[in-house]
Amino acid sequence: MLNMDDLSFVSFFYMSDILSSMENVDTMEERKKIAAATAAVLNYIVTEEEAICIQSMAPPGVKPAPAPSAAAPVRLWGVSGRQAQMQMRNLMQMRTFK
């Protein structure tokens, strides 16, 4: 559960803005959805702030963990050629060609 002490000024500002806009919402179900989304966003913000604090307290000799590298790009020509070979084999197995 989030405490007011855990929130930064910006988080508190956004939360107060969202809560003031909830006055126009009619149904309780919509209020619950907005409250859940707000709690999730604020939890994310607090987690990011904690991560930044932990990184800033690390000794200067420690390097941050490397970001995960992107997956290898898809080679469209290679995929297309392989697909054509499989299609030709399938046609031969169905005895389309004689």
C-alpha dist (Å) from residue 66 to 31, 43, 62, 70: 40, 24, 12, 12
Contacts of 24 (CB under 8 A, 6+ apart): none
Q: What is the pLDDT of residues 35-81, one digit of tens each?
A: 888 888 888 888 888 888 887 777 777 676 777 777 777 888 888 99
Q: What is the pLDDT of residue 86?
A: 92
Domain edges within the chain: 1-63
Cβ(87)–Cβ(78) below 8 Å: no
Q: What is the pLDDT of residue 31?
A: 78
